[in-house]
Structure 1
Amino acid sequence: MLPEDALKDLLSQDLRDRDKALICLATDPVGPREIKDVTALAFGAGWRQVKRKNLSAIFKATDGLAVRATKGWELTSAGSQYVAKLAGPLLNSPIPIVASSLRSHLVKITDPDTQTFAEEAIVCFEARQFRAAIVLSWVGAVSVLHHHIINNRLADFNAEATKRNSKWKNAKTVDDLGIMKEDTFLDILQALSVLGKNVKQELKKALTLRNGCGHPNSLKVAEHKASAHIEDLIINVFAIF
């Protein structure tokens, strides 16, 4: 979640012991850590006083932000979101904040495939695999829109699709909708007032970026570009449908 090379900067801030301890649990590679491992990590990053701290007591007093698992202490979902909001401004990076925002929408996604796309997008984004994060977040957003049509506007959608293409075979499943080009799919959603004109235009920009990232080429994407792409999908798709 947090790169290890950022730990020194974070632990040098004027933070409570609880926050410093939670930040250590959020440092890559994320996973359960024994107290001795947390202590060694923190001490090596400059938190010299950690050897005099009762980390077990600190974690127990985090009100559910950390939990003792079989192999050690680890963050809960609430803990991950807490650290992301705490660390993002300190690192001057959008990655923890945007990842936390997208993760907060996971609980609202009921379809397991869509949830998997979103989870993988978060993992890629946090790992700074920005092209992969752009592709997977787009796939997740389109999956959300597909399910919205199947569950709410399927008859209207098929009627509009047939009007535009007499050879269109009425869709019955999400896979059927996937046959249609995504650009055309967005046009139909605007025609049905599922999307507004400006939202559709923004999503088409996102589609263009997704296509650029999904094919072999020399395109390079930095964190702010990927962050803006994912934020657009969050506010226009994941938070709405």
Structure 2
Amino acid sequence: MGGMEFSRLLSCLADDFNLLRAAVAVTDPGAPVPSCPDWTVADLTGHVAKVYLHKTECIRLGAFPDPWPPEVTEPDPVAALDDAYAALTAEFAAHSPGDHAATWHEPDQTVGFWIRRMAQETVVHRADAELAAGLPVSPIPPDLAIDGIDEVLKLFVAYQSVRWREDFGALLDTPDKRPVSVSTSHHAWTVTATPFGVEAADAVTGFGGDALVSGDAAPLLLWLWNRAGDDAVRLSGDPALLAQFHALRTIATR
């Protein structure tokens, strides 16, 4: 499937950053984050700030920053988040999407990779912040959600399972190689586990496999990131195959 325009991704990044910031600014920093049980709101805020700074350096240096992370100089988490976002967006503005940047995805060493990644990173953590604040999760635009589903399946589940197969333990030693269909709206993907890693590819919309995960794009994206329960999507087909897919996506997104 074709990707989103970078101008659109940057617009989504700005919108979701503003929602994230608004949520953390009105929430006790020590409050728990229901969707990330090990985190407080201060942890969530600090994590996003560090991610923004890391990607800023990946672009500025053209290499992964080392040592990392830097010393914390701004004690206020929200102020540190503001500073990090300003640095990230300034770096994006100073470059074209095709310019070089260090990334973990070997086929794509460009600034554009991080524009997409940070838009998707931010929308998920924006949902975390809203849940922690006791707010309803703001709508996720369908185009951003569909792009996010594509990213989770192709980059996080498929690419990572090949590149860092050891992280998936015994799951890929003798996997069930029957395909799982993932479907939303007019978009569909086929996900197949092999001993060499997971394969994920665009598919004809519809269900022709032994298991199906389907639903509206926004809840499906949050479910893939373990931010929503099984009631947010429709699961059908072989329970063992669905359980394998759940295990694979859980490792890929942790």
Using the size of structure 2 for normalisation, the TM-score is 0.29
Structure label with greater radius of gyration? 1
Pick the structure with more helix per residue.
Answer: 1
Pick the structure with more strand per residue.
Answer: 2
